[in-house]
Amino acid sequence: MSENVYAVSEKYGELPCPARFDVPGSSLCTFKTGGPVKLLAEPENEEQLSAALRLFGGDCLILGKGSNILIPDEGLDVPVIRLSGGFCEVSVSGCTVTAGAGAMLRDVCAAAYENSLTGAEFAYGIPGSVGGAVYMNAGAYDGEMAFITASVRMTDRRGNVTEVPGDLCGFGYRKSLFKSVGGVILGAKFALARGDKDAIKARMDELLNRRRTSQPLEFPSAGSTFKRPEGHYAGRLIEDAGLKGLSVGGAKVSEKHAGFIINAGNATSADVRELIEKVIDAVKRDSGVTLEPEVILL
């Protein structure tokens, strides 16, 4: 076995990056549900990632911090790639914050604050990775990734690396170019502005406090379960339909914020999925609006 081999898979043979087997899906997503992930590969640099992509071909799933997905109870047989190591680094040069796709958004916000840079405060408290946030154009409190993304570094499944300017990323409400091109986000550069450090900290604290007081952060969830329908708010539609507190097994519509489906205790992914369907049907009957899940149902 060569020195750069980290593990051996029965199906794929020698693996070119750190990997784990039969990892509980509940440990990989914020819903805390889901069956075992048969193979979790965690490349630490672009060379390892390219090698893993070549080995797995198109038969693999790219995972961020699992804050917007539902892993099925039967688990995942396809290899899952989650970026680690160097992909989690954050650096600052002038008014630009450069972050690997595996870095947490909170680390970007912290680096911006430490360097008196404003513009990323809206992302403080969003429990996702840079790659996941760019992929879905995450946003909150009148801000979104599209507003600050200067460029995105990505690779296709063959290892060809491209730098995509922010204005060509196809950002829209909870969507981006990267949802359709089938590549892997490696990192991004965020263009911020000089600001007052105390004001930046005050805004971050204000938004975090708003989250804590209005959202059920004490329970596992994937944040807002549904996309915002045009001209409406999903949480208000769900509340108006009398669905607060509705439950299926251990899954429940939060009584604190109806836009959240939470794991109130020992929920299964099937519980969550069934409750999502019940909410969609009930809201459609009550208001005529068809809700669309924001959570990715694997």
Out of 82, 153, 174, 273, the active site residue is 174
Catalytic residue among 129, 221, 224, 269: 224
Rounded CA gap, 52 and 54, in Å? 5
Q: Residue 202: CB partners within 8 Å, gap ≥ 6?
A: none
Contact 5, 14 (CB under 8 A): yes
294: annotated active-site residue: yes
Distances (CA, A) of 35 to 21, 248, 257, 298: 12, 19, 27, 12
- Reading the block at residue 57, the tokens are 């071909």
- Alpha carbon distance 144, 58 (integer Å): 30
Respond yes or no: is residue 174 known to be catalytic: yes
Tally of helices (H runs) and strands (E runs) in the chain: 7, 20
The answer for residues whose C-beta is within 8 angstroms of residue 230's C-beta and 6 or more apart is none
Catalytic positions are: 174, 224, 294
